[in-house]
Structures are given as structure tokens and as C-alpha cells.
Structure 1
Amino acid sequence: MTIKITGTGSYIPNNVEKNEDFYQHEFLNSDGSTINAPNEVIVEKFKAITGIDERRYAEKKLNTSDIAFFAAEKAIENAKINREDIDYIIVAHNYGDVKHNTEQSDTVPSIASRVKHLLKIQNPKCVGYDVLFGCPGWIEGVIQANAFIKSGIAKTCLVIGAETLSRVIDPHDRDSMIYSDGAGAVIVESSNEEGGIIAHETATFALDEAHFIFFGETNHPDINDNRRYIKMYGRKIYEFAISNVPKAMKSCLDKSGVDIKDLKKILIHQANEKMDEAIVKRFYKLYNMQMPENIMPMTIGKLGNSSVATVPTLYDMILRGDLDNQQINKGDIIMFASVGAGMNINAIVYKV
């Protein structure tokens, strides 16, 4: 028996927020002081570092649970399964349903329960729960689904990554330009076909790193409200990621027994283009190799950082032929990898 992804689906919002749309923002330093540069320069430097030209925001009427449901519907249809046969619905997110222009996150009931409700699944033995694991949440959900199926308590799992980060960004923080909205979903099943999940690796660094990404106040000193926004120590995260993620990826690959030369694609969390390139280059350097061309498909330039949704969305787009000059074929060995709040790192070696 193998454990494979048998269906994929994604939801990419239609609303495009371009870099030029940030020209009118009042960006401030974290201490509230003025940044001594015009917004055009701030945005251009941002693009040079992150590779982001534009990002997608969900429609005002939609919440995280809605777009998670849209992606789930597509994955179920793609897998050609009966939704009543799903044993687990695992939804990775970080902020729950944050309605447009509200101050409070809504996580009761869970996003997974809301998705099950929207899918109209009647079977009470279909269990839904949420995973709060930072940006690596979807990969961790797949790892958990793998464990459920391997243990014999499940045959079919629906794993979703969905987020509406546009609802939790501080308009006075330059980092707000990174984040976006989206959802990706997969069906994970036991299979008689070869391949599937070969190995996985997970680590949590929380001694000094736990609060590298956190919820904090606006950068604007004259605004006194109860809202909190996603904040991060970008330089610390960069240094942490390029040091620790390649090691975790190597540990996962070594555990799998796969030769690095047989790795066809690395689908890494789209957090920052330069950081991702540095991670993958260092990963190959651990094997005394140079990073191959076209090994790392990227969507961040047009879709931004949609947290838990980036990896499953990327995988779905490639399989559907929606990403230029990128393809994954049956029998290919690929790697999923991510890093994010916690600080958490994980990776999966997978044979398509």
C-alpha cells in the first residue's frame, strides 16, 4: 500500500492588488518614525527583494472557510471520490474567518467544520479539525493524513490550506505588501499504485525563535484601536531559514533514500523569492552541487505569499498546466518544503 495525492484543487482570488496600489500608503518604521524615501522607492526595493509584482485579495464577501470550500470542491471532483467517504478534513490556516473590516478572528466552529457544512457531508464519522502551524500547516496536514492512513484508521483525507492574510495586515507596515489570499486542497488516499509519500521531516524551533512572527500593533503611533496585525522580524527569519531549512530538506531526502539527482522539482513555500533561492542553493551545496535550472517553480511574483495555500496552490497549478515552462509527470520525485511561524519547518519527499 502507498499513500498518494489523488486529487488537487485551488482557489485564486480574482482581485489583483498591484505594487502601484501601495503608492498612496503611509509607510512607517516599526517605532512609528517616518521612512526617508518616497513610496515608489520603497515599493521598488520591496520588489527587488521579494520578487512580488502583484498579489491576490479575496472578495469582501468571502472568508477563509469559503475559499477553502471552493478549493475542496475542486479536489474532490478531480479525485473522483464520493465526499461521504472522506474520513478526515484537515484545514491549515492561521487566523480563522476574519470578516472584511472587522477586528476579531472567528474560529468557532472550526474552519474544518464550516467546510464540512458547506460540502454538505452527512457522515458523522468524517472528522474535521484545524491545524495552526504557521505557513508549513498544509504540509503538516498531509503528514498527519499520511499517519492516519498508515495506521489504518483512515483511507481518505481532505487536506486544505487556506488564508485571507489581507484581513490582518497593517497598512502602515512595508511588510504588508508581501501577503495575499488563496486556498489549495488535496485528497490523500491509500493506493495500490507505486510512489506516494516516501519520507517526511518536521521540526519546531521555539527557544529563541518562537516570536519571530507575531501579532502586534500598527506602526502608526496616532492610531489607538484594539486591532492586531501580522508582524515579523524579517532579517531574523531570513537568517533562520537559510541556515535551518536546507538541513531539514537534506535530512528528509537522506531518509527517503532518493538520490538528489533524481529530484525533479522542489515546491517550496513562496515567502520571499531571494530567500527561497538562497535556501535551495544551500540545500544543493550540502551535496556539493549547484542548484539546477528550473528546479524551483515560483508563483510569488503574481500571487504573493498566501501562507498555507502557497504549496498546494503551486502543485495544483503545475498539474493543470497553468504555470508556464513547468510540468510534473507521473513517476517524478518531488519535494514539498516550508518554513513559518513557530518557528516551524517541514518537508516531504513524494513520488507522483
Structure 2
Amino acid sequence: MDNAAHVSVLGVGSYVPTKRLTNAELERLVDTSDAWITTRTGISERRVAESGQATSDLAHAAAAAALEDAGTLPESIDLIVVGTSTPDHAFPSVACKVQARLGCTRATAFDVNAACAGFLSALQVAEQFLRAGGATRALVIGADTMSRIVDYSDRTTCILFGDGAGAVVLAKGERPGLHATVTHADGTHYEQLYVHGGGSRLDTEGERPRIKMNGRAIFPLAVRAMISVTEEVLAKAGKTLDDVTWLVPHQANQRILKAVAEGLNVPETRVVSTIRDYGNNSAASVPLALDLAIRDGRIRRGDTVLLTAFGGGLAWGGALLTL
């Protein structure tokens, strides 16, 4: 591959709100228990945005951290892509709000929506811009404020989701970083995981948007999709699992993480899990887990990391990168 086509990872950052929502607090809202939640999901608590916080606030904080980590000035960024399914408004995009707050005066900016796979879709879009010469430095963000669309009377979904954001800075460069990306979708399964209300179907006008999920159906679909896309992205990059230092999957459910690891024959000691303290952060979960594992020393410079995610759409994807 020509050096001009390399895409390097310059920096990583994340942000979570300070407010915690514990299992004990959920026990007071719905008919559930800490033991049941922990056993079924592996989650003990999740972060929830304050009433004055929106997705762009979380995204801005994560982006600023990634830029600092990269040693990159905002004005050098010429592309911002945000993966989110909980924007502040129908429009403008979260990306445009982040662009203005950071002062990325040269950047074009837009959002993509692939639910929990949104960050990987945004990463692939940015990769194509960089490889084709449409941008030289890109800011890719996954951010969601899931607490705004969670139904806290539905014990099957409210126990899962938290709020957060994660970001990476990419650039055309001489050092290989992002080896390959793959994304897929299958809209025939959309009713298994979707948001009821809040869009142009006015039969729900006036109702608060809320998540609807068929967990029994989603579990096997998610496991199969993340295993297959992992194998596909490795083949595309000309690598094997032996070349991978860490697997960073979407933090949907600890049982799903375990099933994916077993299906790939990857030891759980090589799988990054942050779900106990943060829950499922939708599009933010993969970049947030990546950054947290870097900050606590698990992932180090030079490690090769495989990212994979699955979400509503249905949509799924994978990416292989070396830090």
C-alpha cells in the first residue's frame, strides 16, 4: 500500500457524565433487583446526563480530549463525523455543533445513524474521505444520550443503557493505523430493536420516544454478526486473530461479549469489558471502551485492536487498527 493511503490514529478521548444510576436505584423504579441485573447483563451502574446536558455536550468533551491526546489543533481538522441516534435536535447535526464549539473552521461536519454501530459507520466514512483525498485530518465521534429515550418503566431495557461519548483523531500519514473497516445492514429485522416515536410517523405524535427491543431475538443476531464481521475485517486486512492484541466489542451485555469471545476462540483476558461501570452507551460504547482501556494501561501504543459492534437497523461493523 502506498504511504499516501495510510490512515494513522493520532489520538483517542472520551467523556461520561458524573451522575451515576446504580442497580439499587433502578430497584426503586421497576420490578428488578441488583442480583438479576448483574447476572443477566453484567452491569452494576451506568452514567446519566444531567438535565442540562445533551449529546453535543458529551461529544464536544470527548472530542476535545482526543484532540489534546493527538496534540492536534482544532483548525487542522477538515472533517467531523459523529455517529449518534440521539442528536440534540432533528437538525442541525451534532457534528455541526461540535465544529462550532471547537473552532474547527475548516471542517465539514455531519452525523451518521447506525444506532450502536454508529461509531464504526462514522469511522468507515472518515476512512474513505482520507484515503480518497477528500480530507487530511478527521475527528470521528460516537456519542449518545440514551437516557433521553429509555423507558424507565420497562425493566427489560432501562437496565441496559447509559450516556457517554468517545472520539478518535485520524490523519493521512506514513504510519499504518487503520488497516480495514467493514459495515453491513439488514433492515428486515428493524422491529427487533427500534425507537418508538420521535420521528415522522405521526401515529405516535405527542408520545415520548422510547426504545423497544426484543432481547431474545437480538442476542443470537448480535453474536453471529459480530463474529462474522470480525472474521471479515481480518481477512480484508490480511491478518489473523493471532495478530490482534485486544478485542474491543460493543458493550451490549456481558453474556454477548462472552459468547462472541467463545465463538472466536479468544480468551476473555484479551476482551475489553467496561460494561460493569458504564452499561451500554450505544454509538459511544466502542470508542469509550477503547479510551478507558488505554487510560488504565491495558491497551498500549503499538497494540493492534479489533473493534466490532452491532445495533438497531439492524446494522453491524468491524474495524482493525494499530495504535
Q: TM-score, normalised by structure 2?
A: 0.92
Q: Given that residues 18 and 48 in structure 2 are in contact (C-alpha distance below 8 angstroms), is that contact kept between their aligned partners in structure 1?
A: yes
Residue 225 of structure 1, CA deviation: 5.7
Aligned counterpart in structure 2 of residue 3 of structure 1, from 4, 7, 12: 7
Q: 1:152 to 1:225 in 2, by over 3 A?
A: closer
The amino acid of 2:39's aligned partner reads A
1:189 is aligned with what amino acid?
A
Between structures 1 and 2, the one with greater helix share:
2
1:296 corresponds to: 271
SS state of the match for residue 130, structure 2? helix
Structure 1: distance between partners of 2:74 and 2:28: 46
Moved over 6 A (4+): none
The structure-2 alpha-carbon separation of the partners of 1:25 and 1:186, relative to structure 1 and needing over 3 Å to count, comes to same
| Distance of 1:83 and 1:244 partners within structure 2 | 36
Structure 1: segments with no counterpart, 5+ residues: 28-38, 98-105, 218-223, 285-290
Partner of 1:96: helix, strand, or coil? coil
CA contact (8 A) 2:248 2:286 kept: yes
Amino acid in the other structure paired with 1:210? Y
Distance 1:6 1:331 in 2: 12
**Aligned sequence identity (%):** 31
SS in 1 for 2:28: coil
Contact 2:194 2:313 in 1 (8 A): no
In the superposition, relative to structure 1, how do residues 225 and 22 fare at CA in structure 2: closer, same or farther (>3 Å)?
farther
The correspondence for 1:320, drawn from 295, 318, 321, is: 295
Q: Give the alignment of 1:130-149 within 5 angstroms.
A: 130-149=111-130
Matches within 5 A, 1:97-112: 97=88, 106-112=89-95
The one-character-per-residue Cα deviations of 1:152-177 (angstroms, maximum 9, x if unpaired) are: 11110001111111111111101111
The one of 214, 229, 232 equivalent to 1:251 is: 232
| Deviation, structure 1 residue 328 | 1.9
RMSD: 1.6
The alignment partner of 1:215 has SS state of strand
Q: What is the aligned partner in structure 1 of residue 86 from structure 2?
A: 95
Please state how far the C-alpha of 1:216 moved relative to its aligned partner: 2.9
Shift of 1:349: 1.4
Q: Deviations over 1:316-335 (max 9, x none)?
A: 122222xxxx5223332210
Equivalents in 2 of 1:225, 1:20: separation in Å? Answer: 31
SS at match of 1:94: coil
- TM-score, with length taken from structure 1: 0.85
Unaligned runs of at least 5 residues, structure 2? 198-204
Aligned partners of 2:67, 2:301: CA distance in 1, in Å? 20
| CA deviation string 1:31-60 (max 9, x = no partner) | xxxxxxxx33xx422220110000101122
Matches within 5 A, 1:1-352: 1=3, 2-27=6-31, 39-40=32-33, 43-97=34-88, 106-123=89-106, 126-174=107-155, 175-193=157-175, 195-207=176-188, 209-216=189-196, 226-284=207-265, 291-321=266-296, 327-352=298-323
**What is the identity, as a one-letter code, of the residue corresponding to 2:96?**
S
Which residue in 2 is equivalent to 1:103? none
